[in-house]
Amino acid sequence: MKVPYLDLKASYKKILPQLQTAFTRVLESGMVVLGNEVKEFEEKYAQFSNTKYAVGVACGLDALILSLSSLGIGKGDEVIVPSNTYVATLIAVSRVGATPILVESKIDTYNIDPEKIEKSITKKTKAIIPVHLFGQACEMDKILKIAEKYKLKIVEDNAQSQGATYNGKITGSFGNINATSFYPGKNFGAIGDGGGITTNSKKYYKLILQLRNYGERKKYYNNLIGFNSRLDELQAAFLKIRISQIDDINKKKNKIAQIYIKNLSNVGDLILPKTHQKATHVFHVFCIRTKKRDLLKDYLLKKGIVTLIHYPVPGHLQEAYKNLGYKKGDLPIAEELAKTSLSLPIYPEITSDKLEYVIDSIKKFFK
């Protein structure tokens, strides 16, 4: 039996008539950049995120870059980020000229450790980027208190946890500005690249609108040096379909996660995902941990089961960031996660027999 890590083909097949209708509508409109589809999606996305404003941009990395740029963060500034994250979080900080300061995560939730944040703050620190990793919200009450105490800005990286909550509040609504990705593999994905920004600040909203479109205040009149980062009409039209499905997608992935948890508890040395008592989890990734990670991964692949590693190299040990001066042993939890983490297939279209096959294969490995 073959079990892919993700099955986008099956996902699109279910909504093919809707996608075709959206595609035709965009073509017949004659508008492919910054038209009604983008405007309507932004309105829907702001409502979904429980914020006043939303802006569609080209990708998740751009969403982070524009968010930091609009806050005036640049050369000489420091921004606190988790080491256990996708490298785009770090790259965004670098692209605005600032320095990423890498912080440990918690061993149980994999999210940034609030207690370690405060110890990393200096006079140069201007912002914190809490990454809601794998589908679970960070401990935002503690992080917001730290930000208030030191007068720091918050930019949420919400690429992996859209629809998740902390203390009943949805991710993407906590920060001064919040960035997300609509990469196809996400729970809330487009059919290609796309990104979004949410905020409750009219000032930041207007600034981001300019920055995404070359810095124009009106056509061909530029008072800012901006970017070319616009969500196109076609992706916006597709995302309008997805936004009506996201709650159902999250529920289905949560159901699959609970089946994994029920059947893989007390199997070998497996450590299963834990959800913080104040948080909800949307399981963008179902990440298990084992000291036999590489052996298990190879075994499952021979059985036709594809798994992924999120992430094999922690941020502080990435070659691109060797200039920061970190070395092995500096952030032992991030390093432990990189050595032991393995992500299992978890997508709404996975069949019960494939799910059972994955579970049985893991149990056989540990016998």
Q: Which helix (H) or strand (E) holds 264?
A: helix 246-264
Could you tell me which residues are beta bridge partners of residue 155? 177
SS3 155: strand
Among 69, 173, 203, CA closest to 126: 69
Closest CA to 283 of 340, 344, 351, 334: 344
Burial class (CB in 10 A: 0-12, 13-18, 19+), 324: middle
Count of C-beta atoms within a 10 Å radius of residue 241? 16
Domains of the chain from N-terminus onward = 8-103+110-242 (3.40.640.10), 246-366 (3.90.1150.10)
Q: How far is CA 207 from CA 59, 67, 210, 223, in A?
A: 18, 10, 5, 11
Q: What SS3 state is found at 334?
A: helix
**Structure confidence by residue, pLDDT tens digits, 11-37:** 999 999 999 999 999 999 999 999 999
* Secondary structure of residue 352 in the 3-state scheme: helix
Which pLDDT band, with edges at 50, 70 and 90, does 165 fall under? very high
Q: How does pLDDT run across 301-316, given as a tens digit for each residue? A: 999 999 999 999 999 9
Structure tokens at 151: 């007068």
User: Do residues 144 and 51 make contact, with C-beta atoms less than 8 angstroms apart?
Assistant: no
H/E stretch holding 140 reads helix 140-150
DSSP 279-322: B-B--SSEEEE-TTHHHHHHHHHHTTB--B-S-SS-GGG-GGGG
The pLDDT of residue 133 is 99
Q: What is the mean pLDDT of residues 147-154?
A: 98
* 275 touches 261 (CB < 8 A): no
What is the per-residue pLDDT for 363?
98
28-86 residue pLDDT tens: 999 999 999 999 999 999 999 999 999 999 999 999 999 999 999 999 999 999 999 99
Instruction: Give the SS3 label for residue 37.
Output: helix
